[in-house]
A and B are shown apart, each in its own frame.
Chain A
Amino acid sequence: AQSVTQPDIHITVSEGASLELRCNYSYGATPYLFWYVQSPGQGLQLLLKYFSGDTLVQGIKGFEAEFKRSQSSFNLRKPSVHWSDAAEYFCAVGFTSGTYKYIFGTGTRLKVLA
């Protein structure tokens, strides 16, 4: 069955430290991959997406993600976290055929220490 796993429910980092949020998926082919961010009380905003080509993709707000086919992973990274990055982050998978649905991970809540 298709699934998305975000193994870290909560992550705390200090401002200025680097960040990596993990995302693993289960699907028989290469899916479309997305990272969204949700600030408190807000809807979801797209950070970046991958569908083909270069496996390192750049997004907004200084985020990047790397697709690793061998590990079925699409981890989100940021070299230096800002206090305003505190939010919840969702990985999502879209499928290349047969369905127009998306599957979301359960989210990782990021806390940033001053």
Chain B
Amino acid sequence: NAGVTQTPKFRVLKTGQSMTLLCAQDMNHEYMYWYRQDPGMGLRLIHYSVGEGTTAKGEVPDGYNVSRLKKQNFLLGLESAAPSQTSVYFCASRLGGTGAYEQYFGPGTRLTVT
């Protein structure tokens, strides 16, 4: 049981390049989330998904796209990277429904855009 995994762990991009971050979970969780973490700002929600084939915008969605084609995977895309997207990105998942379900986090992806 690997929990939540993220690929890659580190990446350096040049401005304007594109990339996709992959999140995978093996806990059969309905809900998945993408956050970015910046110093002094905590975690900010980029996009989330409440089920296969569904996505929704979070607090800071601009410049990112997501897809949830399979229940276990949640992809985060950067179409044209900007230095402001330099950050650590975390994926999380949780059970569905309205209960007090905690989120399970992946180890993070450190992205640098030069």
Alpha-carbon distance between A55 and B106 when the two chains are bound, in angstroms: 29
Q: Which of B90-104 contact A (CB under 8 A)?
A: 90, 92, 98-104
Q: Is the interface on chain B under 10, 10 to 19, 20 to 34, or 35 or more residues?
A: 20 to 34
Judge whether A44 and B105 touch: CB under 8 Å. Answer: yes
Alpha-carbon distance between A92 and B78 when the two chains are bound, in angstroms: 27
Judge whether A9 and B107 touch: CB under 8 Å. Answer: no
With both chains docked as a complex, state the minimum distance between the C-beta of A110 and any C-beta of chain B, in angstroms: 15
Judge whether A43 and B102 touch: CB under 8 Å. Answer: no
Which of the residues A44, A49, A100, A106 comes within 8 Å of B90, measured between beta carbons? A44
Judge whether B40 and A43 touch: CB under 8 Å. Answer: no
A104 at the interface (CB under 8 A from B): yes
* Central interface residue in B41, B44, B105, by most chain A CB within 10 Å: B105
B50 at the interface (CB under 8 A from A): yes
Which residues of chain A are near B101, meaning CB under 8 Å?
94
Nearest residue (CB) in A for B94 is A100
A42 at the interface (CB under 8 A from B): yes
Alpha-carbon distance between A100 and B44 when the two chains are bound, in angstroms: 14
A46 at the interface (CB under 8 A from B): yes
A: residues with CB less than 8 A from B are: 9, 32, 34, 36, 41-46, 49-52, 90, 92, 94, 96-97, 100-102, 104-107
10 more contacts with CB within 8 A, not counting A32-B100, A44-B103, A90-B42, are A9-B40, A43-B4, A43-B107, A45-B105, A49-B102, A51-B100, A97-B98, A100-B98, A102-B103, A106-B42
